[in-house]
Structure 1
Amino acid sequence: MGNLIILLFGVMMDDKVDFINKIFSKMNVKMYNISLNILKDKFDAEEAVSQTFLKIIENIEKISTLPCSQIEPYCVVILKNETMNIIRKRKKIIYVENVDYIDRSEEDYNIEEEYLETVDKEQLLSCINKLSDDEKFFLHLRFVNEMRFKDISELLKITEEAAKKRSQRILEKLRLYCEEGGLNVSNI
Protein backbone atom coordinates (compact mmCIF):
# COMPACT_ATOMS: atom_id res chain seq x y z
CA MET A 1 0.00 0.00 0.00
CA GLY A 2 2.75 2.43 0.98
CA ASN A 3 4.65 1.71 -2.25
CA LEU A 4 1.54 2.44 -4.31
CA ILE A 5 1.10 5.82 -2.65
CA ILE A 6 4.77 6.65 -3.17
CA LEU A 7 4.41 5.76 -6.86
CA LEU A 8 1.27 7.87 -7.17
CA PHE A 9 2.94 10.80 -5.45
CA GLY A 10 5.93 10.42 -7.74
CA VAL A 11 3.89 11.22 -10.84
CA MET A 12 1.83 14.02 -9.25
CA MET A 13 2.54 17.71 -9.27
CA ASP A 14 3.85 19.19 -6.01
CA ASP A 15 0.73 21.33 -5.53
CA LYS A 16 -1.49 18.22 -5.73
CA VAL A 17 0.75 16.39 -3.23
CA ASP A 18 0.54 19.38 -0.86
CA PHE A 19 -3.24 19.48 -1.29
CA ILE A 20 -3.57 15.75 -0.46
CA ASN A 21 -1.25 16.15 2.54
CA LYS A 22 -3.45 18.98 3.84
CA ILE A 23 -6.57 16.85 3.46
CA PHE A 24 -4.80 13.93 5.15
CA SER A 25 -3.52 15.96 8.11
CA LYS A 26 -6.90 17.64 8.58
CA MET A 27 -9.16 14.62 8.21
CA ASN A 28 -7.20 11.42 8.90
CA VAL A 29 -8.11 11.12 12.58
CA LYS A 30 -11.71 12.21 12.01
CA MET A 31 -12.17 9.68 9.22
CA TYR A 32 -10.64 6.92 11.31
CA ASN A 33 -12.97 7.69 14.22
CA ILE A 34 -16.04 7.77 11.97
CA SER A 35 -15.18 4.44 10.35
CA LEU A 36 -14.21 2.86 13.69
CA ASN A 37 -17.58 3.91 15.17
CA ILE A 38 -19.37 2.25 12.28
CA LEU A 39 -17.20 -0.83 11.71
CA LYS A 40 -16.17 -1.51 15.34
CA ASP A 41 -12.88 -2.98 14.11
CA LYS A 42 -9.51 -1.19 14.01
CA PHE A 43 -8.23 -3.04 10.97
CA ASP A 44 -11.41 -2.48 8.96
CA ALA A 45 -11.42 1.19 9.98
CA GLU A 46 -7.83 1.58 8.79
CA GLU A 47 -8.73 -0.18 5.55
CA ALA A 48 -11.69 2.16 5.00
CA VAL A 49 -9.53 5.23 5.57
CA SER A 50 -6.73 4.00 3.31
CA GLN A 51 -9.19 3.11 0.54
CA THR A 52 -10.77 6.53 0.97
CA PHE A 53 -7.45 8.29 0.49
CA LEU A 54 -6.71 6.17 -2.58
CA LYS A 55 -10.06 7.33 -4.00
CA ILE A 56 -9.21 10.91 -3.07
CA ILE A 57 -5.91 10.58 -4.90
CA GLU A 58 -7.66 9.08 -7.92
CA ASN A 59 -10.16 11.96 -7.97
CA ILE A 60 -7.82 14.76 -6.92
CA GLU A 61 -8.51 16.77 -10.06
CA LYS A 62 -12.21 16.93 -9.28
CA ILE A 63 -11.74 17.46 -5.54
CA SER A 64 -9.26 20.28 -6.00
CA THR A 65 -11.85 22.24 -8.00
CA LEU A 66 -14.46 22.04 -5.23
CA PRO A 67 -15.09 25.04 -2.97
CA CYS A 68 -13.32 24.66 0.39
CA SER A 69 -16.61 24.15 2.23
CA GLN A 70 -17.46 21.12 0.07
CA ILE A 71 -14.15 19.26 0.23
CA GLU A 72 -14.61 17.72 3.68
CA PRO A 73 -18.22 16.53 3.09
CA TYR A 74 -17.17 15.10 -0.29
CA CYS A 75 -14.36 13.15 1.39
CA VAL A 76 -16.73 11.92 4.14
CA VAL A 77 -19.09 10.61 1.45
CA ILE A 78 -16.18 8.70 -0.10
CA LEU A 79 -15.39 7.30 3.37
CA LYS A 80 -19.03 6.33 3.87
CA ASN A 81 -19.03 4.46 0.56
CA GLU A 82 -15.80 2.64 1.41
CA THR A 83 -17.18 1.77 4.84
CA MET A 84 -20.35 0.39 3.26
CA ASN A 85 -18.21 -1.69 0.87
CA ILE A 86 -16.44 -3.26 3.84
CA ILE A 87 -19.78 -3.97 5.52
CA ARG A 88 -21.02 -5.64 2.33
CA LYS A 89 -17.88 -7.78 2.19
CA ARG A 90 -18.39 -8.75 5.83
CA LYS A 91 -21.93 -9.94 5.15
CA LYS A 92 -20.55 -12.47 2.71
CA ILE A 93 -18.19 -13.96 5.33
CA ILE A 94 -19.37 -15.97 8.32
CA TYR A 95 -16.85 -16.13 11.13
CA VAL A 96 -16.93 -19.27 13.23
CA GLU A 97 -16.43 -17.36 16.48
CA ASN A 98 -19.61 -15.37 15.77
CA VAL A 99 -21.80 -18.48 15.71
CA ASP A 100 -23.46 -19.29 19.01
CA TYR A 101 -22.95 -22.87 20.12
CA ILE A 102 -25.06 -22.95 23.24
CA ASP A 103 -25.79 -26.20 24.99
CA ARG A 104 -29.44 -25.82 25.93
CA SER A 105 -31.49 -28.16 28.00
CA GLU A 106 -34.77 -29.33 26.52
CA GLU A 107 -36.92 -27.32 28.94
CA ASP A 108 -35.15 -24.00 28.16
CA TYR A 109 -35.32 -24.38 24.43
CA ASN A 110 -38.47 -23.47 22.52
CA ILE A 111 -37.97 -23.83 18.77
CA GLU A 112 -41.18 -21.95 17.97
CA GLU A 113 -40.08 -18.86 19.90
CA GLU A 114 -36.66 -18.94 18.28
CA TYR A 115 -38.23 -19.23 14.83
CA LEU A 116 -40.62 -16.32 15.43
CA GLU A 117 -37.77 -14.19 16.78
CA THR A 118 -35.62 -15.02 13.76
CA VAL A 119 -38.42 -14.38 11.27
CA ASP A 120 -39.18 -10.95 12.77
CA LYS A 121 -35.50 -9.99 12.63
CA GLU A 122 -35.14 -11.28 9.08
CA GLN A 123 -38.27 -9.41 7.97
CA LEU A 124 -37.05 -6.20 9.61
CA LEU A 125 -33.63 -6.62 8.01
CA SER A 126 -35.33 -7.20 4.67
CA CYS A 127 -37.29 -3.96 5.11
CA ILE A 128 -34.13 -2.06 6.07
CA ASN A 129 -32.39 -3.41 2.97
CA LYS A 130 -35.07 -1.73 0.84
CA LEU A 131 -33.82 1.65 2.06
CA SER A 132 -31.16 3.55 0.14
CA ASP A 133 -27.53 3.38 1.29
CA ASP A 134 -27.79 6.96 2.60
CA GLU A 135 -30.87 6.07 4.63
CA LYS A 136 -29.20 2.94 6.03
CA PHE A 137 -26.12 5.00 6.88
CA PHE A 138 -28.31 7.56 8.68
CA LEU A 139 -30.06 4.82 10.69
CA HIS A 140 -26.67 3.31 11.53
CA LEU A 141 -25.42 6.63 12.86
CA ARG A 142 -28.61 7.25 14.82
CA PHE A 143 -29.39 3.84 16.29
CA VAL A 144 -26.24 1.71 16.15
CA ASN A 145 -23.77 4.46 17.02
CA GLU A 146 -26.45 6.17 19.13
CA MET A 147 -25.45 9.58 17.81
CA ARG A 148 -27.50 12.63 18.74
CA PHE A 149 -29.18 14.68 16.02
CA LYS A 150 -26.74 17.49 16.76
CA ASP A 151 -23.74 15.24 16.05
CA ILE A 152 -25.33 13.80 12.91
CA SER A 153 -26.14 17.28 11.65
CA GLU A 154 -22.50 18.34 12.11
CA LEU A 155 -21.22 15.23 10.34
CA LEU A 156 -23.60 15.55 7.41
CA LYS A 157 -23.35 19.35 7.27
CA ILE A 158 -27.11 19.86 7.68
CA THR A 159 -29.15 21.60 10.35
CA GLU A 160 -30.21 19.71 13.45
CA GLU A 161 -33.86 20.20 12.45
CA ALA A 162 -33.12 18.71 9.01
CA ALA A 163 -31.53 15.69 10.72
CA LYS A 164 -34.65 15.20 12.86
CA LYS A 165 -36.93 15.49 9.82
CA ARG A 166 -34.77 13.07 7.83
CA SER A 167 -34.97 10.60 10.69
CA GLN A 168 -38.77 10.91 10.80
CA ARG A 169 -39.06 10.37 7.04
CA ILE A 170 -36.75 7.34 7.07
CA LEU A 171 -38.58 5.75 10.00
CA GLU A 172 -41.95 6.36 8.36
CA LYS A 173 -40.67 4.79 5.14
CA LEU A 174 -39.35 1.82 7.12
CA ARG A 175 -42.70 1.50 8.92
CA LEU A 176 -44.50 1.38 5.55
CA TYR A 177 -42.13 -1.30 4.23
CA CYS A 178 -42.67 -3.35 7.37
CA GLU A 179 -46.44 -3.05 7.19
CA GLU A 180 -46.35 -4.15 3.54
CA GLY A 181 -44.42 -7.23 4.67
CA GLY A 182 -46.91 -8.01 7.45
CA LEU A 183 -44.46 -7.22 10.26
CA ASN A 184 -45.79 -5.74 13.52
CA VAL A 185 -43.99 -2.40 13.79
CA SER A 186 -45.41 -0.84 16.93
CA ASN A 187 -41.89 -0.20 18.30
CA ILE A 188 -40.46 1.54 15.21
Structure 2
Amino acid sequence: MLTNKEDLKLVEEVLQGNIESFEELVNKYEILIMKFIYNMIKDKQISEDISQEVFITVYNKLDTFDSKYKFSNWILRIAKNKTIDYIRKYKKIKESNIEDVVVITSKEPLPEQKLEFKETKKVIEKYINGLKDIDKQIIMLRYMQKVTFKDIAKILEISESSVKRRYYKVKEGLKKYMGIEEKGCGYGL
Protein backbone atom coordinates (compact mmCIF):
# COMPACT_ATOMS: atom_id res chain seq x y z
CA MET A 1 0.00 0.00 0.00
CA LEU A 2 1.20 3.49 -0.76
CA THR A 3 2.15 5.71 2.14
CA ASN A 4 0.44 8.98 2.87
CA LYS A 5 3.49 10.74 1.38
CA GLU A 6 2.93 8.91 -1.92
CA ASP A 7 -0.81 9.66 -1.69
CA LEU A 8 -0.08 13.35 -1.27
CA LYS A 9 2.18 13.27 -4.34
CA LEU A 10 -0.60 11.62 -6.38
CA VAL A 11 -3.18 14.15 -5.11
CA GLU A 12 -0.89 17.01 -6.12
CA GLU A 13 -0.43 15.48 -9.60
CA VAL A 14 -4.22 15.07 -10.02
CA LEU A 15 -4.72 18.71 -9.04
CA GLN A 16 -2.24 19.61 -11.76
CA GLY A 17 -4.35 17.73 -14.30
CA ASN A 18 -2.74 14.28 -14.35
CA ILE A 19 -5.67 11.85 -14.77
CA GLU A 20 -3.38 8.81 -14.58
CA SER A 21 -2.51 9.73 -10.98
CA PHE A 22 -6.22 9.73 -10.14
CA GLU A 23 -6.52 6.26 -11.70
CA GLU A 24 -3.69 5.14 -9.40
CA LEU A 25 -5.62 6.46 -6.37
CA VAL A 26 -8.77 4.69 -7.55
CA ASN A 27 -6.86 1.42 -8.09
CA LYS A 28 -5.30 1.70 -4.65
CA TYR A 29 -8.49 2.48 -2.70
CA GLU A 30 -11.24 0.86 -4.75
CA ILE A 31 -11.21 -2.51 -2.93
CA LEU A 32 -10.86 -0.90 0.51
CA ILE A 33 -13.80 1.45 -0.15
CA MET A 34 -16.00 -1.32 -1.58
CA LYS A 35 -15.32 -3.60 1.41
CA PHE A 36 -15.96 -0.73 3.82
CA ILE A 37 -19.31 0.09 2.20
CA TYR A 38 -20.27 -3.56 1.81
CA ASN A 39 -19.80 -4.12 5.55
CA MET A 40 -22.45 -1.46 6.16
CA ILE A 41 -24.88 -2.28 3.31
CA LYS A 42 -24.39 -6.03 2.67
CA ASP A 43 -25.27 -5.62 -1.01
CA LYS A 44 -22.56 -5.95 -3.67
CA GLN A 45 -24.30 -3.97 -6.42
CA ILE A 46 -25.22 -1.08 -4.15
CA SER A 47 -21.68 -1.07 -2.70
CA GLU A 48 -20.28 -0.73 -6.22
CA ASP A 49 -22.68 2.12 -7.01
CA ILE A 50 -21.84 4.00 -3.81
CA SER A 51 -18.12 3.42 -4.44
CA GLN A 52 -18.46 5.13 -7.82
CA GLU A 53 -20.19 8.06 -6.14
CA VAL A 54 -17.35 8.23 -3.61
CA PHE A 55 -14.70 8.48 -6.33
CA ILE A 56 -16.71 11.07 -8.25
CA THR A 57 -16.93 13.13 -5.05
CA VAL A 58 -13.22 12.62 -4.35
CA TYR A 59 -12.36 13.86 -7.85
CA ASN A 60 -14.67 16.87 -7.61
CA LYS A 61 -13.63 17.84 -4.05
CA LEU A 62 -9.95 16.94 -4.20
CA ASP A 63 -9.01 20.62 -3.97
CA THR A 64 -10.66 20.73 -0.50
CA PHE A 65 -8.47 17.91 0.85
CA ASP A 66 -6.19 19.14 3.65
CA SER A 67 -2.76 17.56 3.31
CA LYS A 68 -2.25 17.74 7.10
CA TYR A 69 -4.48 14.65 7.29
CA LYS A 70 -4.16 11.15 5.87
CA PHE A 71 -5.75 10.76 2.45
CA SER A 72 -7.04 7.29 3.40
CA ASN A 73 -8.98 8.75 6.35
CA TRP A 74 -10.46 11.46 4.14
CA ILE A 75 -11.67 9.05 1.46
CA LEU A 76 -13.07 6.63 4.09
CA ARG A 77 -14.98 9.51 5.69
CA ILE A 78 -16.50 10.33 2.29
CA ALA A 79 -17.42 6.66 1.85
CA LYS A 80 -19.01 6.59 5.30
CA ASN A 81 -21.05 9.72 4.60
CA LYS A 82 -22.20 8.49 1.18
CA THR A 83 -23.24 5.17 2.72
CA ILE A 84 -25.13 6.86 5.54
CA ASP A 85 -26.87 9.10 3.00
CA TYR A 86 -27.91 5.99 1.08
CA ILE A 87 -29.18 4.26 4.22
CA ARG A 88 -31.22 7.32 5.22
CA LYS A 89 -32.72 7.66 1.75
CA TYR A 90 -33.49 3.93 1.55
CA LYS A 91 -35.03 3.93 5.03
CA LYS A 92 -37.34 6.84 4.12
CA ILE A 93 -38.46 5.06 0.96
CA LYS A 94 -39.02 1.85 2.89
CA GLU A 95 -40.98 3.69 5.63
CA SER A 96 -43.21 5.48 3.14
CA ASN A 97 -43.91 2.21 1.34
CA ILE A 98 -44.92 0.60 4.62
CA GLU A 99 -47.29 3.50 5.34
CA ASP A 100 -48.86 3.09 1.89
CA VAL A 101 -49.39 -0.61 2.51
CA VAL A 102 -51.06 -0.02 5.89
CA VAL A 103 -53.59 2.32 4.30
CA ILE A 104 -54.61 -0.10 1.54
CA THR A 105 -54.67 -3.35 3.52
CA SER A 106 -57.88 -5.09 4.43
CA LYS A 107 -58.85 -7.57 7.13
CA GLU A 108 -58.56 -10.44 4.62
CA PRO A 109 -55.21 -12.28 5.01
CA LEU A 110 -52.78 -11.93 2.13
CA PRO A 111 -52.09 -15.00 -0.03
CA GLU A 112 -48.59 -15.23 1.50
CA GLN A 113 -50.12 -15.22 4.99
CA LYS A 114 -52.59 -17.96 4.03
CA LEU A 115 -49.76 -20.06 2.59
CA GLU A 116 -47.59 -19.50 5.66
CA PHE A 117 -50.52 -20.50 7.90
CA LYS A 118 -51.04 -23.72 5.93
CA GLU A 119 -47.34 -24.56 6.08
CA THR A 120 -47.20 -23.88 9.82
CA LYS A 121 -50.30 -25.99 10.36
CA LYS A 122 -48.69 -28.91 8.47
CA VAL A 123 -45.53 -28.67 10.59
CA ILE A 124 -47.57 -28.64 13.82
CA GLU A 125 -49.70 -31.58 12.67
CA LYS A 126 -46.56 -33.52 11.79
CA TYR A 127 -45.17 -32.81 15.25
CA ILE A 128 -48.39 -33.81 17.02
CA ASN A 129 -48.66 -37.02 14.99
CA GLY A 130 -45.20 -37.99 16.25
CA LEU A 131 -46.20 -37.67 19.93
CA LYS A 132 -47.09 -40.49 22.32
CA ASP A 133 -50.84 -41.14 22.45
CA ILE A 134 -51.26 -39.69 25.91
CA ASP A 135 -49.48 -36.45 24.91
CA LYS A 136 -51.65 -36.19 21.77
CA GLN A 137 -54.75 -36.59 23.92
CA ILE A 138 -53.61 -33.87 26.33
CA ILE A 139 -52.93 -31.45 23.45
CA MET A 140 -56.20 -32.24 21.69
CA LEU A 141 -58.26 -31.87 24.85
CA ARG A 142 -56.53 -28.65 25.84
CA TYR A 143 -56.58 -26.95 22.42
CA MET A 144 -59.55 -28.45 20.60
CA GLN A 145 -61.95 -28.87 23.48
CA LYS A 146 -60.61 -26.10 25.77
CA VAL A 147 -60.60 -28.55 28.70
CA THR A 148 -58.89 -27.49 31.95
CA PHE A 149 -55.83 -29.34 33.28
CA LYS A 150 -57.92 -30.59 36.19
CA ASP A 151 -60.55 -32.05 33.85
CA ILE A 152 -57.91 -33.57 31.55
CA ALA A 153 -56.41 -35.30 34.60
CA LYS A 154 -59.80 -36.78 35.45
CA ILE A 155 -60.50 -37.84 31.84
CA LEU A 156 -57.10 -39.52 31.37
CA GLU A 157 -56.94 -40.79 34.96
CA ILE A 158 -53.54 -39.28 35.71
CA SER A 159 -52.49 -36.58 38.18
CA GLU A 160 -53.01 -32.93 37.32
CA SER A 161 -49.28 -32.25 37.85
CA SER A 162 -48.47 -35.02 35.35
CA VAL A 163 -50.83 -33.44 32.80
CA LYS A 164 -49.20 -30.03 33.25
CA ARG A 165 -45.68 -31.47 33.07
CA ARG A 166 -46.46 -33.37 29.86
CA TYR A 167 -48.28 -30.37 28.36
CA TYR A 168 -45.39 -27.94 28.95
CA LYS A 169 -42.85 -30.53 27.81
CA VAL A 170 -44.77 -30.98 24.53
CA LYS A 171 -45.10 -27.21 24.14
CA GLU A 172 -41.35 -26.72 24.67
CA GLY A 173 -40.64 -29.57 22.25
CA LEU A 174 -42.79 -27.86 19.63
CA LYS A 175 -40.78 -24.65 19.96
CA LYS A 176 -37.56 -26.59 19.39
CA TYR A 177 -39.14 -28.56 16.53
CA MET A 178 -40.36 -25.36 14.84
CA GLY A 179 -36.91 -23.82 15.18
CA ILE A 180 -35.22 -26.85 13.65
CA GLU A 181 -37.93 -27.22 10.99
CA GLU A 182 -37.39 -23.57 9.91
CA LYS A 183 -33.71 -24.32 9.42
CA GLY A 184 -34.64 -27.22 7.16
CA CYS A 185 -33.49 -29.98 9.48
CA GLY A 186 -35.42 -33.01 10.59
CA TYR A 187 -36.30 -33.56 14.22
CA GLY A 188 -36.20 -37.04 15.64
CA LEU A 189 -39.13 -37.85 17.89
TM > 0.5: no
What is the TM-score of this pair, normalised by structure 2?
Answer: 0.41
- Structure index of larger Rg: 2
